[in-house]
Amino acid sequence: MTFSAAFQVKQVVFMQRILKLLLALPLIWFALPALADTNPNADVRIIIDVSGSMKQNDPQNLRSPGLRLLGGLMPGDAESGVWTFARYVNMLVPLQKADDTWRERVQQKSSEIHSHGLFTDIEQALQKATANVKVSDPAKQRSIILLSDGLVDLHQGKASSDQSRQNIINKLLPQIKQKGFRIHTIALSEDADHELLKQLSMATDGWYHQVDNADELERVFLHLFEQATQRDSVPLVDNRFTIDTSVNEMTILVFRENETDVTQLVQPDQKNQSYETHEPSVSWMQEKHFDLITIDQPMSGEWFIDGNIDPDNRVMVLTDLRMETIDLPNNILAGEQFDIVAKLTDHGKQIDRQDFLQLVTAELSTQPLQGEPINNKMTLNNQTATFMANLGKLFDSGQNDIVITAKSDTFERQRRQSVNVVALPFDVTVTQLDVDSRSHRLSMSADASMIDPQSLQISALLSAPDGSEFPYEVLRQSENAWQLTVADLQPETAYQLSLQIRGETPAGRNVFLQPKPIQLLDEAAGASLTITSETPIAAEKVNDEPFEPVIIDPVADEPNAEIPKSTFELSDTVILAIGNAVIVLLLIMGFWFWHRSRRRQLLPGDLL
């Protein structure tokens, strides 16, 4: 090999290394913002209905222990306040840091929750609870927990009540959303305004709960607390858990099946703690349905809860060794997927020591309400010192609990969040038309709180029993209405109509949906089938490519029909990626020309 060839080989290897480094920089840059502010301080505002109808819907006044539960769990770096409302709004506990003084006030004031109020002024309650906030703040995770059992009902009468309801939807809701609040709502009776409460939640990416029995209220408060805050916890298996030396405080929540059940804690040294006999470092709150125990500087080792094993039991910790994760949307569409990223921090600084991280095992568990959990190992990314996994492919419709666990021989940490999976954000109606030849018409409208109607492209595939297939385009008829008519079908023959839907959520996430195929049966003229968000989706995607429309719906020939334009747009991510690629290419070219000119200036002996 000649000298010049050897030099060229070295130069190529060197450039390859430089290229790998430069290409890695944009990837690292993209990954870091997802965790840049994963743990903003919580701002939780609790609004509780105290109207007279609560005598019937909450006869045991479980709102009081529910509030005490929230107060006991609230992290010390959070801000929180409590308002009650009926005709008037009362600030029960002022908004402030959730320190010991605040918690004591919650315990005292919780006894003042009553069921004697007249009327239900939800508008005024939301206004007063959010009045001190002018703009959103990325450093704060703002949430409202709103509990009501009725309709908007003002003392001025029905007309004023109806106007107030419209003010909430048209004026107040956009303002609250702009301030960065998520509204979690609890409907505590069948008579509540479910449509309004659900709209408040969905529009702000909050949770909506319908509670048919007040006995469920404390558990619902727990779940909404976990949506509103991010507290570190440790895994609890068969009521056993392990505490390490970095834990400064732990809070244990144990639900009791019967009021007379006794809960005890068994320490690593086998000493027992109970409500009746516990050490001064132990704070023990005992309610009818649960025990809430807080212990300063807990002993390290394995602990055991001698009590009822319940899926809602929790062990939350205050520690310098924390696990931080991205904050998922509360409401997602079936078919959406997310890259879950978790990192470990010590005293607020990310741990990047490879010798430490290599000894940590991270696991992602998806737990539907029905069925067994699905567990996946998370992969360590050495460049970003984070654990990563993909989430969403196997989501069931409805509530899914996401649990991330990190373990080593010296510590265990866990984070949990729940997501509400909407199978199909549309109202779909299929009607058999009263015409000479067998025809069916499909009509669709989108839930604008879940998917942007302007972004939608909808295709369909009609499948016959003999295997023949006919692709269609579902055409837009107005701003939020689509229609497709299939005609000249064979009598007494069953067909399948499959939909493919592409669009964006209001937050800008791209989605691709494939609902369960619709069965077209030959029934009497006028027979219709309605499909809502409760309809299950197909388990797996059949094909990611959209159907090519070859048949035009006759409805589109009407003068007022709007035919969607075919446009080609690059996403922001692709544009940024192209920009990064151009920058990298320019850097490489500049370096190459510089290196080439420098080589010309060197003597051959200098290259040896």
Distances (CA, A) of 22 to 10, 385, 463, 588: 18, 18, 50, 9
Neighbour-count burial of 275, counting CB atoms closer than 10 A to its CB (0-12 exposed, 13-18 middle, 19+ buried): middle
Percent of the chain with pLDDT over 70: 81
- pLDDT, residue 577, reads 54
Lowest mean pLDDT among 9-13, 161-165, 461-465: 9-13
Say what the pTM is: 0.77
Distances (CA, A) of 565 to 323, 456, 491, 549: 47, 11, 35, 13
| Banded model confidence at residue 595, pLDDT cuts 50, 70, 90 | low
Pairing of strands 301-306, 240-243: antiparallel
Of 433, 431, 461, which Cα lies nearest the Cα of 530?
Answer: 431
Name the average pLDDT for the chain.
84
Does 320 have pLDDT greater than 80? yes
Place of tokens 């109207």: 51
- pLDDT, residue 67, reads 97
Q: How far apart are CA 111 and CA 63, in angstroms?
A: 10
- Could you tell me the two tokens for 233? 């916890």
| Banded model confidence at residue 590, pLDDT cuts 50, 70, 90 | low
* Residues in CB range of 421: below 8 A, 6 or more apart: 332, 333, 334, 395, 396, 397, 398, 399, 400
Q: Edge-to-edge, what's the strand order for the sheet holding 272-274?
A: 240-243, 301-306, 264-266, 272-274
Percent of the chain with pLDDT over 90: 65
Q: What is the mean pLDDT of residues 234-258?
A: 96
The alpha carbons of the chain give a radius of gyration, in whole angstroms, of 29
Q: Is residue 169 within 8 Å of residue 196, measured between CB atoms?
A: yes
Question: 3-class DSSP state for residue 381?
Answer: strand
Tell me: the pLDDT tens digits for 489-502? 999 899 999 999 99
- pLDDT, residue 559, reads 36
Does 393 have pLDDT greater than 80? no
Q: What is the mean pLDDT of residues 227-249?
A: 95
- pLDDT, residue 434, reads 87
Does 537 have pLDDT greater than 90? no
Q: What is the mean pLDDT of residues 448-464?
A: 92
- Could you tell me the two tokens for 533? 């968000």
Tell me: the pLDDT tens digits for 142-199? 999 999 998 999 999 999 999 999 999 999 999 999 999 999 999 998 889 999 999 9
DSSP state letter for 379 = E
Distances (CA, A) of 228 to 215, 251, 327, 528, 538: 22, 17, 10, 41, 31
- pLDDT, residue 593, reads 60
| Banded model confidence at residue 26, pLDDT cuts 50, 70, 90 | very low
Tell me, what amino acid is at 508?
G
Q: How far apart are CA 579 and CA 588, in angstroms?
A: 14
- pLDDT, residue 600, reads 44
Tell me: the pLDDT tens digits for 50-78? 999 999 999 999 999 999 999 999 999 99
Sign of CA dihedral 570, 573, 579, 584: negative
Q: How far apart are CA 60 and CA 113, in angstroms?
A: 11
Does 542 have pLDDT greater than 60? no
- Could you tell me the two tokens for 372? 């067994």
Does 520 have pLDDT greater than 80? yes
| Banded model confidence at residue 251, pLDDT cuts 50, 70, 90 | very high
Place of tokens 């979690």: 184
